[in-house]
Amino acid sequence: MMGSSFSKRLQSLIDLVTNYKTLHIVMLGLDSAGKTTALYRLKFDQYLNTVPTIGFNCEKVKLNGKAKGNSFLIWDIGGQDKLRPLWRSYTRCTDGIIFVIDSVDEERLEEAKMELMRTAKSPENSRVPILVLANKQDLPGAKDANEIARLLGLSDLNGKHLWHVQSSCSVIGEGLDEGLDILYDLITEQKRLNKLSKIKR
C-alpha cells in the first residue's frame, strides 16, 4: 500500500495549494457488476470494452455539480472472490465507499449483500458513507433502487453509516454524476457530524 499512501500525501499537498479537495473513494462490488465500466465512463466519458479487473484501476474524477472543483480519487478493486481479501487494505482510511450492484443478477444479490455488510461492519470503515449503485437499470427485470435497498437490508446500517442508493446505467453513464454528487454531500455531512462529536467529548 506504499503507492497509495504516497499518492495520498502528494494529493494532500496539491489540495493545500489549490484549496480544492480530493477525496479518496473505493469502489467495490462483485465481479461483473459494472465497476470498471462506471469508472471509465466517469473519467473519459466513453464506454471502454473492459476485461475483468485483476488487481485495481485508479482514476481521479472531477466533480461537476455543486462540488465543482473538488475531485474523487477512485480505486476500482477487482471483485472476483479470490481478490476480495484485498478490499480491506484499500478501504483503510477511505472517505467514501461506492458499492456497485448488478440489479438483474438476483442469484448473486445475497452474496453481494454479505460482502457489502462485511465491508460496512469492518471497524476501519466505521461511519464511512456508502453509495450503492443499482446498476444495469437498462436491462429488463432490473430491480429499482428501493427494491435493491430493501433486498440488501440497508436500513440495518441506519445510525452507523450514511447511505444512498442511486440507480445507474454505467454503459451510458446515466446516474453516475448524480450518485457522486450525493456521495460528496454524505461525506461532507459525516465530516460535520465527526467534528460535532469531537466537540461534545
Distance (Å, whole) CA 139 – CA 131: 21
Written as one letter, the residue type at 99 is F
Catalytic (active site) residue 80: yes
166 binds ligand G3D (CB under 6 A): no
**Residue 32 lies near ligand G3D (rule: CB under 6 A):** yes
- The three state secondary structure string of 140-171 is CCCCCHHHHHHHHCHHHHCCCCCEEEEECECC
Binding marks (x or -) toward ligand G3D, 68..107, rule CB under 6 A? -----------x--------------------x-------
Task: Indicate the SS3 state at residue 76.
Answer: strand
Interface stretch with ligand G3D, choices 114-122, 146-154, 167-175, 189-197 (CB under 6 A): 167-175
38 vs 63, which CB is nearer to ligand G3D? 38
Going across the sheet that includes 163-167, the strands are: 56-62, 71-77, 22-28, 96-102, 130-135, 163-167
To the nearest whole angstrom, how small is the minimum distance from the Cβ of residue 152 to ligand G3D?
A: 16
Q: Among 23, 25, 26, 53, which residue interacts with ligand G3D (rule: CB under 6 A)?
A: 53
138 binds ligand G3D (CB under 6 A): yes
| Interstrand relation of 56-62 and 71-77 (parallel, antiparallel or unpaired) | antiparallel
Residues 6+ apart with CB under 8 A from 13: none
Counting contacts by CB under 6 A, is residue 29 touching ligand G3D?
yes
Give the residue numbers annotated as catalytic, written as ranges: 80
Binding site for ligand G3D (CB under 6 A): 29, 31-37, 50, 52-53, 79, 100, 135-136, 138-139, 169-171
